[in-house]
Structure 1
Amino acid sequence: MARPVPVNLALRDRRIDIFFAVVFSAFTVTSIISDLLPTVGVDFSQPSDNFFVQSNYWYAHDADPLFMNPPDWMRIITGLSAFVYMPFYIVLVYALLAARNWIQLPSVIYATMISSLTGIVVFGVEFFGEPEFRTQNAVKFLLFNLPYVLVPLVLLVRMRKPLPFTRRF
């Protein structure tokens, strides 16, 4: 006799998923604004009248010298965000709101990638790498960037068990 599959909880009973949907919607926007520009080679090493260029200049100038003049490997990482993570965020938001259990494995893969690339590589260079790339304002750098590592790690914990939408977090 087949065992019945548990029913997914209603969205109102999964408040953590509402939180994730809001945060990953914001990540979608920041991927477009922040990560697309350095990937395609837009120069934001000087102030600009363009809002998007100026936003990146302000961030890079005040918090992230590595982002100001990104080496090729950094452009690959921002390219992943702009062209791989950003579409994933859209799918993830849908899956979270609609309680689609198939998002579990892609979420685990994503959280592992983002914590490895951003958490280890980028943070390592910013704090321990070449002096010209080290951040001078660690507090501001962490305030801007830590959510991009911590939220995916919490998502990883959220997706740790089979059928993640059938139980509360």
Structure 2
Amino acid sequence: MNLPLRDRKIDVFFAVLFSAFTITSLISDLLPTVGVDFSQPSDNFFVNSNYWYAHDADQLFMHPPDWMRIVTGLSAFVYMPFYVVLVFALLSGKNWIQLPSVIYATMIVTLTGVVVFGVEFFGDPAMRTGNPAKFLAFNLPYVLVPLLLLIRMRAPKPFTRRF
């Protein structure tokens, strides 16, 4: 028998974070995937939000190579729908979300944690931000939260126990 949601406060915490990730996937990852230019300030809120982030923290994001557009495309078209399903499963205590959560966390750690962070810190110097602290402040939560979710989902029937 699963614990009621009021006894699984960590799941409420994850539901709030992944709801926010849904919005950020829609705003920030969809635009570079479909080729919207945000290399200059704009009157459009979404374009300007991406410009502000990319200008201050992530030059790679401002001028994404093809492989980066694939990474943002995964976020916009695969992770974003998963976030909606994940939030539902967390709030309703659906244990079937365990395996998809593990797959998702592994993909995030590999694509964001290894590839994107690797390029930022060890790749082409022209693509680095020059401000690793801002890059980490914006991007580290997108790797740490999935790792925490992976820890949360490690036990069989994760919603039957407190975390």
Moved over 3 A (4+): none
Does residue 82 of the first structure (1) align with residue 65 of the second (2)? no
Given residue 61 of structure 2, which amino acid in structure 1 is its aligned partner? F
Equivalent of 2:137 in 136, 143, 148: 143
Instruction: Report the equivalent of 1:98.
Output: 92
Given residue 104 of structure 1, which amino acid in structure 2 is its aligned partner? Q
Distance 2:2 2:91 in 1: 11
Instruction: Report the equivalent of 1:161.
Output: 155
Deviation at 1:81, TM superposition (A): 0.1
Deviation at 1:132, TM superposition (A): 1.1
**Corresponding pairs, count:** 163
1:55-92, Cα deviation, whole Å (9 max, x unpaired)? 00010000000001000000000000000000000000
Deviation at 1:8, TM superposition (A): 0.2
Determine helix, strand or coil for the equivalent of 1:34: helix
Distance 2:145 2:129 in 1: 22
Say if 1:44 and 1:56, in contact at 8 Å, map to a contact too.
Answer: yes
Say if 1:127 and 1:135, in contact at 8 Å, map to a contact too.
Answer: no
Equivalent of 1:30 in 24, 30, 33: 24
Deviation at 1:124, TM superposition (A): 0.4
Instruction: Report the equivalent of 1:19.
Output: 13
Query: What residue ranges of structure 1 are gaps of 5+ in the alignment?
Result: 1-6
Does residue 116 of the first structure (1) align with residue 110 of the second (2)? yes
Distance 1:135 1:155 in 2: 29
Distance 2:22 2:155 in 1: 26
Determine helix, strand or coil for the equivalent of 1:90: helix
1:124-165, Cα deviation, whole Å (9 max, x unpaired)? 001110011112111111111000000000000000011000
Query: What residue ranges of structure 2 are gaps of 5+ in the alignment?
Result: none
Instruction: Report the equivalent of 1:3.
Output: none
Given residue 7 of structure 2, which amino acid in structure 1 is its aligned partner? D
Distance 2:126 2:7 in 1: 48
Distance 2:8 2:25 in 1: 26
Say if 1:65 and 1:133, in contact at 8 Å, map to a contact too.
Answer: yes
Distance 1:161 1:59 in 2: 37
What is the identity percentage for the equivalent residue pairs of Structure 1 and Structure 2?
82
Distance 1:144 1:94 in 2: 26
Cα RMSD (Å): 0.4
Distance 2:51 2:105 in 1: 28
Query: TM-score, length-normalised on structure 1?
Result: 0.96
